Amino acid sequence: MLRGRAKYFELVKVLGFTDFKLRFNTSILGYIWSILKPLGIFFVLYIVFGYFIFRGGGPRYKDKLLLGIFIWSYFAEASTAGIQSLLGKSHIIGKIYFPRSIAVLATSLNYAITFIINMAIITVFFMIDRVGFNRYSPLFLLYIAELYLIIMGISFLLSVVYLKFRDIVEIWTILITAGFYATPIIYPIEMVPPRYQKLLYLNPITFIVEYSKRVMVEGRIVDAAGSAHMFLVGNCVIFAESVLLFIAGFLVFRRMSPRAAEYL
């Protein structure tokens, strides 16, 4: 049994690293695009919103903006690719048997590699901008783990549905665009009236982005009123949401994936 699991782990690793290499294989700048793309988006948004609209954007605006963009880029790209993972591996699925979940896991590894590279860039950027790590910074690892569970839950759930209904990716693209503006990335959440902030927090990525900015850039867990109560409640909510979404997605995937070959 252990030998079989080790074999599947090796397959995930091979497929994941192969996908990462092929993603930039035909581009001139290659892997550098995995860094340049979010950085390019950051510079455009920082000029437009940081200088012309918000006129500075408040303390550490550019650091918060950069962190938010990298988090959202990882979520958007990894979830979209995860939805298409089974169809993307159709040439393999139709020829040999292996657990279908490996295709989804390999895709997640592909984009996890990109995110690790991008985090190295953020670390350098923070060092240059004198944003030091603090006692709350390790919580960021928890948020990334929760984000990964959310991505996997969505990927498991929609990858099997996508095989039958190809409109899913188009709908997801629209939702991703709407979600970007419904998440406090380009604007501080304090700008939103309190009664509407609750609506923003219906989006689980809002918790992750907002709390990541708090612990990584601001070095605090308390809110403007000096209370940590809502922070603790929010952490419980996002943890429960991420775990439940992962379990629900995996259960649907396990039920439907044996028939995946029929729709390829």
Average pLDDT over residues 132-154: 92
Share of the chain above pLDDT 90, in %: 32
**How far is residue 179's CA from residue 174's CA, in Å, rounded to a whole number?**
8
pLDDT digits (tens, 9 = 90+) for 55-84: 656 778 889 999 999 999 999 999 999 999
pLDDT digits (tens, 9 = 90+) for 163-199: 888 889 999 999 999 999 999 999 888 888 888 888 8
Q: C-alpha distances in angstroms, 158 versus 9, 84, 104, 177, 191?
A: 23, 8, 11, 18, 34
pLDDT of residue 1: 44
Which whole number is the average pLDDT over 22-35? 70
- Retrieve residue 24's tokens: 């930039």
| pTM of structure | 0.88
What is the residue-wise DSSP string for 10-78?
Answer: HHHHHHHHHHHHHHTTTSSSGGGHHHHHHHHHHHHHIIIIIIIISTT-STTHHHHHHHHHHHHHHHHHH
> What is the CB neighbour count within 10 angstroms for residue 252?
17
Could you state, in order of their start, the residue ranges of all structural domains in the chain?
Answer: 2-263
- Residue 220 structure tokens: 């605090």
